[in-house]
Amino acid sequence: MKITTKSRYAIRAIYALCMMGGDKHPVSILKILEFEDISKKYLEQIFTKLKHVNIITGSRGVGGGYMLARNPEQINLKEIVNTMDGPLKTEDCGAEGDCSNFSSCAVNWLWSGLEKACDDYLEKITIADMMKRSVSHFTV
């Protein structure tokens, strides 16, 4: 199980967006790129996915940019990771149908429990939590 670069960058970009006021007004993608070392093309791909699931919105033109589509308290890390990569999986086992030994496996409960623990942890952490915890480390 590994959280991909795309998910990590999505979390970083959403955090930067919020810290630049993107929970209240549009923020230019160029401002986010100045703070986060992510290529413009890659960030645009990430933001396209996040817009599709109503995590962010985008507007063009003067004064345009990206902003959160919802309150930071309503967006958790699990939603972002699942949007980028789908549900976290420990291995290609742990679900009936994925493995011919599922019913007799002595350890499938272990992998299922690990997946659930990771999902629960990511679901508990919201963008608002990140903003509160990290505000002293952020300077624009």
Residue 106, Cβ neighbours under 10 Å: how many? 7
pLDDT per residue over 78-102, tens digit each? 999 999 999 888 766 655 556 666 6
101, part of any domain: no
Report the pLDDT value the prediction gives residue 90, as an integer from 0 to 100.
74
Are 77 and 11 contacting, i.e. CB atoms less than 8 angstroms apart? yes
CA 23 to chain centroid, in Å, comes to: 16
Q: What is the pLDDT averaged over residues 100-125?
A: 84
Partner residues linked to 56 by β-bridges: 68
pLDDT per residue over 33-45, tens digit each? 988 889 999 999 9
95, part of any domain: no
pLDDT per residue over 118-130, tens digit each? 999 999 999 999 9
54, part of any domain: yes
CA distances for 118 relative to 19, 38, 60, 78, 125, angstroms: 26, 26, 37, 9, 11
115, part of any domain: no
14, part of any domain: yes
pLDDT confidence band for 72 (50 / 70 / 90): very high
18, part of any domain: yes
Report the pLDDT value the prediction gives residue 61, as an integer from 0 to 100.
86
44, part of any domain: yes
The pTM assigned to this predicted structure is: 0.85
Instruction: Please state the domain count of the chain.
Output: 1
The CATH number linked to 79 is 1.10.10.10
Domain residue limits at 28: 5-87+126-137
